[in-house]
Amino acid sequence: MVPDGAAPTVSVIVPVYDDPEGVDRTLQALTEQTASTPYEVLAVDNGSTDRTPAVVASYCRDHPDLVELLVEDEIQGSYAARNTGIEQANGEILAFIDADMRVEPTWIDAVAETMQTERYVGFDVQIEGRPADGPVVAYNHVSEFPIERYVEEEQFAPTCCLAVRREVVEAVGRFDERFRSSGDLEFGRRVHDAGFEQAFDSSVTMYHPPRSVPALLKKYVRVGRGIGQRRRYYPERFDRHPLFTPANYLPTVSPRKLRDSATEVQGRAETALPLYTLCLFYVLEQLQNVCMGVGRLADSVAANGDR
């Protein structure tokens, strides 16, 4: 809770679109903080057509000094919603979280402590549930949110678990609102190129529900579009020859590839996985490739339509 008269030190920005259950669980966690650090919660509705705004409004009524409902309905996209949150934020620390995630009651204070010495940080994300709960949950555990690798090897943290100081945004600019996906990667590369240190903090954990198979496939289509967009908008930084080759996204089935996939998955998993789970992983990997190809194709069509 923000003490009377205190300016928020942490502004938590929560973009949301048509997800009343997800934003409810996130706002519940954010309003149950045991924080001594002043903070505010900015839920940015991106033009929802269901009861999502009503859910956020209920938290605004119950916590009028803490939660605020903002609306970004001119541009459909999570990065536009986040930029609206940045524009209205009062804190020096901007913390981003997705609407459907959960955090511990000490999260705000933990973020503030980390940001005393850091300016751009990605936090640990754990999948809720256990790998033993089923093959799809296990797939989420193994394949989703390798945040440390993203920060160290690709110079970005996903916006579901990112905290950045305001001075960094003022130096490099806000998110590119044209992106359907990869806007966090493009922003992270700008931060890196500007000379700011980037860090991963494993001591601060955030929790994400496992995605269903349809949700995973929808995500991969979006990622494919993002790959096309970043190569189209920033070829000098991502790819000077952004040629879309459909054959690169066709599924490949062979005993050798299945064996290689199983070996890699077992190397990443923290527990032994049965054969049927490894086979499902292989199928999902192939579907992932196809869906990313669909996304790349959709971006190519959209790009041609803009000309």
Q: Is residue 205's pLDDT more than 70?
A: yes
Confidence label for 275 from pLDDT (cuts 50, 70 and 90): confident
Confidence label for 258 from pLDDT (cuts 50, 70 and 90): low
Asked which of 1-5, 17-21, 57-61, 237-241 is least confident by mean pLDDT, the reply is 1-5
Q: pTM of the entire structure?
A: 0.88
- Which amino acid, one-letter code, is at 187? F
- Report the pLDDT value the prediction gives residue 138, as an integer from 0 to 100: 84
- The Cα–Cα gap between 230 and 87 comes to 24
Pairing type for strands 161-165 and 10-16 reads unpaired
- The Cα–Cα gap between 37 and 259 comes to 50
**Mean pLDDT confidence for 25-31:** 98
Tokens encoding 140: 């989420």
Contact between residue 99 and residue 29 where contact means Cβ atoms under 8 Å apart? no
**Mean pLDDT confidence for 114-139:** 91
Asked which of 24-28, 127-131, 150-154, 241-245 is least confident by mean pLDDT, the reply is 241-245
- Which amino acid, one-letter code, is at 111? V
Tokens encoding 113: 């402590």
Confidence label for 1 from pLDDT (cuts 50, 70 and 90): very low
Confidence label for 142 from pLDDT (cuts 50, 70 and 90): confident
Pairing type for strands 102-103 and 199-208 reads antiparallel
- Report the pLDDT value the prediction gives residue 264, as an integer from 0 to 100: 63
Whose tokens are 């790009």? That residue is 303
Q: Is residue 88's pLDDT more than 60?
A: yes
Cα 123–chain centre separation? 11
Closest alpha carbon to 97 in 176, 180, 10: 10
Confidence label for 285 from pLDDT (cuts 50, 70 and 90): confident
**Mean pLDDT confidence for 193-219:** 95
Q: Which residue has the higher pLDDT, 275 or 153?
A: 153
- The Cα–Cα gap between 301 and 123 comes to 36
- Report the pLDDT value the prediction gives residue 222, as an integer from 0 to 100: 93
**Mean pLDDT confidence for 54-83:** 97
- Report the pLDDT value the prediction gives residue 186, as an integer from 0 to 100: 97
- The Cα–Cα gap between 179 and 159 comes to 13
Q: What is the pLDDT of residues 226-247, one digit of tens each?
A: 999 998 899 888 875 555 555 5
Q: Is residue 19's pLDDT more than 60?
A: yes
- The Cα–Cα gap between 9 and 22 comes to 25
Phi and psi for 280 in degrees, rounded to 5? Answer: -65, -40
Q: Is residue 296's pLDDT more than 90?
A: no
Question: Which stretches within the chain are classed as H helix?
Answer: 20-31, 52-62, 78-88, 107-114, 135-143, 147-154, 166-172, 183-193, 213-233, 235-238, 255-268, 275-306
Count of CB atoms situated within 10 Å of the CB of 103: 23
Asked which of 35-39, 101-105, 262-266 is least confident by mean pLDDT, the reply is 262-266
Tokens encoding 26: 């996130």
Q: Give the full edge-to-edge strand order of the sheet including 199-208.
A: 67-71, 39-45, 10-16, 93-97, 161-165, 120-127, 199-208, 102-103
- The Cα–Cα gap between 103 and 107 comes to 6
Q: Is residue 67's pLDDT more than 60?
A: yes
- Report the pLDDT value the prediction gives residue 2, as an integer from 0 to 100: 47
Helix, strand counts (H, E) of the chain: 12, 8
| pLDDT, averaged across the chain | 88
Q: Is residue 4's pLDDT more than 60?
A: no
Q: Which domains does the chain have, with CATH numbers?
A: 10-211 (3.90.550.10), 216-306 (no CATH)
- The Cα–Cα gap between 180 and 221 comes to 10
Q: Which residue has the higher pLDDT, 164 or 261?
A: 164
Pairing type for strands 199-208 and 10-16 reads unpaired
